[in-house]
A and B are shown apart, each in its own frame.
Chain A
Amino acid sequence: AQRVTQPEKLLSVFKGAPVELKCNYSYSGSPELFWYVQYSRQRLQLLLRHISRESIKGFTADLNKGETSFHLKKPFAQEEDSAMYYCALTGEWVRFGAGTRLTVKP
């Protein structure tokens, strides 16, 4: 079975604080993992993917196969990071997590 779990529906932090959005997955094969973001009144767009191992807008995510996790992290959150974040697993099909709404307070 292919499953993506984002345990937090809502996450609120203050500006400048570190933020971590959790994502756990289950998949028997080799997964491809992505983080998508949807800012207010904008379309869903790719934030980053694990194969490129890049940092986008200060966010990073490391695939931990032992813990089957792909948590999204940023050391210093900004107000403009407030958005809906979706973790996605592409194995046999693409599966999205339920999403986490991040609010960064001033």
Chain B
Amino acid sequence: GAGVSQSPSNKVTEKGKDVELRCDPISGHTALYWYRQSLGQGLEFLIYFQGNSAPDKSGLPSDRFSAERTGGSVSTLTIQRTQQEDSAVYLCASSLGGRVGNQPQHFGDGTRLSIL
């Protein structure tokens, strides 16, 4: 079946512009995570969704970052007024979620974001 799909795969934009990154999770997966991978910080957690709710936003680095999820499926990560330090690969993962303990997370191939 289809895996986690992210778009666009690459995005180049000018400093100060807003960007939207999209994630299509695996069908039936109720849990969705966003992570960021950069040379300086490694792989770090940003936000977690269970259904359409985000009980953990603790990893969002500033109020310029926001995310939403609609219909318990697609999620969008928005970065406003982009800065050069936002340049990174943004990864989305999904899992079965629920209350049965940790479920394996499956990752997309990410969006490589470059801020000029």
Chain B binds chain A: no
Which residues of A approach B to under 8 Å, CB–CB? none
